[in-house]
Structure 1
Amino acid sequence: MAFDPRLRSPKEQPLFIIGVIFSAFVWLGMVISIIGLLYGAMIFLGVLMAHALFLAYVRGNGVRISEQQLPGLYERVKLASRKLGLDEVPDVYVLQAGGSLNAFATKLFSRRFVVIYSDLVDNCHDVRHLDFVIGHEIAHLAAGHLKWKALLLPFHLVPWLGPAYSRACEYTCDRAGHHVVGDLEASMRGLCVLAAGGKLTAEMNLQAFMAQREETGGFWMSIYELVASHPYLCKRVAALAELEAPGSLRPVPRSVPGFVLAPMLGVAAGGGASIALVIVVYVAVVMAAVAVPAFQEYQEKAQVAAVAAEEEAAPDAWAEELPAEDEEAE
């Protein structure tokens, strides 16, 4: 059983194709450049080591759920995995994170992980809200988002398109979470837990929260979202409502000046780590852009040198043959 393609956001696949083509050219440029390949390998090893160390922290300090450890939660993970077509249940850990309401899926080589922060579990007073969170994270694995993450790394940093692809993936996973839950209001309130916490979620007016999306078309809100990996929560809740009743909600256009200036003014929203990553990939792209013309120039010079060498060798060959002809004449 595979991931149901009907759950994918309409924008995800077209952006994915663009991302594969763009990223393939970037990586090819780095491979052609020996220096770029060396730096790329160093960056890859550094990121791999940091990720492995982080997962070591999670595995040593978090609680890995299983049939013997928190079996009720483990059964919910198994059910979500089965509904979304995941062949094997991933390693799921519950981790205390200082009050943060978050969860994420990740991968190390072929091993798949889902980490759920304990405060998010505590704030899901309705177990269906937790099912939505679990389904959302399982979907990242089932839909193959992490499978292509390394290849698409350059594309993620392309202004407008990279973040748009990431947001499309989040919409896909929201649809998958709703598919696991099977109840629209419960799915919508599962997202609301991330906004208001568990105590207030049951009291929230969903219509009023969805109406907040009307403000997201403003200048600064457009800039922030256009560089963000996740859509605004009020828009995500509205997207679920639109999924159940297509055409029921009016799209909110973004600010045109905000759209144009987002790559420049939105850098501050990404944080230091994102800026550093942008710089690393930018350097790699520049090196590739320099290396490809340099390689072509080297090939041209080598061809010219080869032709010149042949021309220099030709008179010598003629001179060597000349005495032999004279001897025959004698």
Structure 2
Amino acid sequence: MQFQIEKIRHPKEIKYGTYLLVFGSIIWAIIAFILIFSLFKGYYLQISLFIIYIAVLWCVSYIARALTQAYMFGHYVLIGPNQFPHLHQIVQESAKQVGIVEAPQAFIYNSGGVINAFAVRLIGRQRYIWLTSALIDANNDEQIRFVIGHELGHHISGHLGGYKFYLQLPGQFIPLLKKAYSRARELTCDRVGMFVSQDLSASRSALQLLACGSVKLNDQMNPDEFQKQETMVPNTTGFLLHIFTYYPRLTQRVEAISDWYASTCKSSSEK
């Protein structure tokens, strides 16, 4: 199966992303209309204040990202050919699988026991991946491939930049829509992680590890039983919790990746 992000992208991301694109474009059009109207009416002071406000926001954002970048290079460990070369090779191979020519710079940092990973874009065009030390300790190579693939998914899907990202930006002020889109993006990136790992068992166990938090217990977990817990979530309270969160339930994510593998990856491998 050749990697094509538009074929892998989750339908919910396409739906909610389209809503954001429409609402965002409308809001941008309204802003443009107000600015043009104000210009014709001679409201130069109001226009100047608006431009200053936007400029200040941009400067604050830029400084925050620059400080984060400086902290990252001074406190995190950069993975490279001469620093954890095995992990460096996994990052390079994973990036190549999804068509990223220049692989993101990957860093490991002391997480104090927190198992997590992040895709980050700071100043410039450089992409970054952050991996916590606890995640590396807790996962085997194939699970790490899934996690790295998931974070690469955010980069390759345009979740951190690009013209669509900026067109959608005003629409993200709609709270529930923003959260729905965020959950859908995670499902897309799980698919990318599955594509990179090419291992359903490793992909499922990497996700369920976030639930149990124990390497010893994770090796003993039955992913089918964990997936069945999704049917035990109460309808009303489960729905309320769901719509106010940025991430899908872990039981949902394991179920979704299993269903996608059964319908797409497995059938492709059998042809």
TM-score of the pair, normalised by structure 1:
0.69
Partner residue in 1 for 2:71:
57
Quote the Cα distance in structure 2 between the aligned partners of 1:40 and 1:2: 38
Out of 77, 91, 99, the position equivalent to 1:85 is: 99
After superposition, residues 159-238 of structure 1 pair within 5 angstroms as 159-197=175-213, 198-238=215-255
Partner residue in 2 for 1:10:
11
Structure 1 residues 28 and 37: CA distance shift in structure 2, 3 A: farther
Out of 242, 256, 260, the position equivalent to 1:243 is: 260
Partner residue in 1 for 2:28:
27
Unaligned runs of 5+ in 1: 247-330
Quote the Cα distance in structure 2 between the aligned partners of 1:216 and 1:58: 39
Contact 1:30 1:37 in 2 (8 A): no
1:110 aligns with 2:128: no
Quote the Cα distance in structure 2 between the aligned partners of 1:48 and 1:168: 28
Aligned length: 245
Out of 157, 161, 174, the position equivalent to 1:158 is: 174
Quote the Cα distance in structure 1 between the aligned partners of 2:5 and 2:130: 23
Quote the Cα distance in structure 2 between the aligned partners of 1:79 and 1:231: 28
Structure 1 residues 227 and 41: CA distance shift in structure 2, 3 A: farther
Partner residue in 2 for 1:286:
none
Shift of 1:67: 0.8
Contact 1:30 1:36 in 2 (8 A): no
1:127 aligns with 2:141: yes
Unaligned runs of 5+ in 2: 36-46, 264-271
The one-letter amino acid paired with 1:220 is T
Contact 1:81 1:87 in 2 (8 A): yes
The one-letter amino acid paired with 1:24 is S
Kindly provide the CA deviation profile for residues 119-148 of structure 1, in whole angstroms up to 9, marking residues without a partner as x. 111111x21111110110011111221124
1:98 aligns with 2:99: no
Kindly provide the CA deviation profile for residues 250-308 of structure 1, in whole angstroms up to 9, marking residues without a partner as x. xxxxxxxxxxxxxxxxxxxxxxxxxxxxxxxxxxxxxxxxxxxxxxxxxxxxxxxxxxx
Shift of 1:14: 2.7
Q: Percent identity?
A: 34
Contact 2:127 2:155 in 1 (8 A): yes
Structure 1 residues 93 and 3: CA distance shift in structure 2, 3 A: farther
Shift of 1:76: 0.2
Contact 1:3 1:86 in 2 (8 A): no
Quote the Cα distance in structure 2 between the aligned partners of 1:65 and 1:85: 20
Find the residue that maps to 1:147 and give its secondary structure: coil
Structure 1 residues 188 and 127: CA distance shift in structure 2, 3 A: same
Contact 1:101 1:194 in 2 (8 A): yes
Find the residue that maps to 2:101 and give its secondary structure: coil
The one-letter amino acid paired with 2:204 is M
Find the residue that maps to 1:89 and give its secondary structure: coil
Structure 1 residues 166 and 207: CA distance shift in structure 2, 3 A: same
Contact 1:132 1:181 in 2 (8 A): yes
Contact 1:30 1:40 in 2 (8 A): no
The one-letter amino acid paired with 2:212 is A
Find the residue that maps to 1:245 and give its secondary structure: helix
Higher-Rg member (1/2): 1
Quote the Cα distance in structure 1 between the aligned partners of 2:239 and 2:146: 27
Structure 1 residues 225 and 51: CA distance shift in structure 2, 3 A: farther
Shift of 1:154: 2.6
TM-score of the pair, normalised by structure 2:
0.83
Contact 1:156 1:166 in 2 (8 A): no
Partner residue in 2 for 1:296:
none
Quote the Cα distance in structure 2 between the aligned partners of 1:144 and 1:19: 14
Shift of 1:217: 4.7
Find the residue that maps to 1:152 and give its secondary structure: helix
Find the residue that maps to 1:98 and give its secondary structure: coil
